[in-house]
Amino acid sequence: MTAQLIDGNALSKRLRGDMATLTAELTARGHRPGLAVILVGDDPASAVYVRNKVAACEATGILSILDRYPATFSEADLLARIAALNADPSVHGILVQMPLPRHIDAHRVIEAIDPAKDVDGYSVLSAGQTLTGLPGMRPCTPYGCMKLIESTGQDIRGKHAVVIGRSNTVGKPMALLLLQANATVTVCHSATPDIGFHTRQADIVVAAVGRAGTVKADMVKPGAIVIDVGINRTADGRLCGDVDFEAVREVAGWITPVPGGVGPMTITMLLANTLQAAERRI
């Protein structure tokens, strides 16, 4: 069996097309959606992520404001800038690119963002809304993974889902969103003795670890949906995920590639959250 590829680029293109239409309608009514992106420091990977987010905004018609500050920028100045963006009616979403320099308290910065503009969904309020199932901003990566799973046409209800990784930004909210969709959810992490024992029973596997080769073919149930969140580099510099793609695709029913799977969907859901924030505001 060779798995069907879940094409994150194609799904993103389709969703972003709808978003461009909605953005044009809101703009015509005098409410152009706006996203402010703040980058502090000169981490090259962060610079690429920020560039991609700004480009996606521009392609969709969303106004993007990019603030770049040196690594020496103070926490007080950053908080003051966030306060100004909170008060700016043309800004509907605020994203502070992580990681921040060590002298800045990331938690304090996230909590300074107006919850209505927390398009990354990282604040404690957004986390609580995700936990309780109340309306609010869902963290972009797990939100995008849900769209990828839904795109297979398989009913999530009653399925056994195994999430590997329990970070606050990916693994935990992923487990909550799957639970909300009525999956039976198992969460594995670095202290789980035998991850394969769990994944072999899973209809859906989401790998969010950051370690190549975490999910091997003998760990996957035939026909399962496999979502690979990980971003790693091979010895020869190529991008790869946490899943042993070539071998697992012979066992799984559906699989996301890296690159071209979860990555584009993360940005797409950032745009979705920005539009949601703009519509709520209006």
Q: Which residues bind ligand NAP (CB under 6 A)?
A: 141, 164-167, 169-171, 188-192, 195, 208-211, 229-231, 262-263, 266
97 is catalytic: yes
Residues 53, 147, 159, 172: which is the catalytic one?
53
- Least CB distance to ligand NAP at residue 24 (A): 27
- Least CB distance to ligand NAP at residue 247 (A): 18
Radius of gyration of the chain (CA): 19
Look at residue 40 and give its three-state secondary structure: strand
User: Per DSSP, which regions of 14-131 are E strands?
Assistant: 34-40, 63-69, 93-96
Instruction: Note the residue count of the chain.
Output: 282
Is the Cβ–Cβ distance between 200 and 220 less than 8 Å?
Answer: yes
- Least CB distance to ligand NAP at residue 80 (A): 28
Strand 232-233 versus strand 239-240 pairing type: antiparallel
| Cα–Cα dist 95/99, whole Å | 12
Nearest to ligand NAP of 169, 186 (CB atom): 169
- Least CB distance to ligand NAP at residue 87 (A): 30
Nearest to ligand NAP of 26, 188 (CB atom): 188
- Least CB distance to ligand NAP at residue 214 (A): 6
Nearest to ligand NAP of 184, 192 (CB atom): 192
Residues 97, 129, 203, 276: which is the catalytic one?
97
Nearest to ligand NAP of 60, 141 (CB atom): 141
Helix (H) or strand (E) holding 235: none
Torsion angles phi and psi, residue 141, rounded to 5: -70, -50
Nearest to ligand NAP of 60, 214 (CB atom): 214
Torsion angles phi and psi, residue 182, rounded to 5: 70, 25
Q: Is the preceding omega at residue 259 within 30 degrees of 0, hence cis?
A: yes
118 is catalytic: no
172 is catalytic: no
Residues 118, 120, 228, 242: which is the catalytic one?
120
Closest of 233, 229, 226, 281 to residue 90, by C-alpha? 281
Catalytic residue list? 53, 97, 120
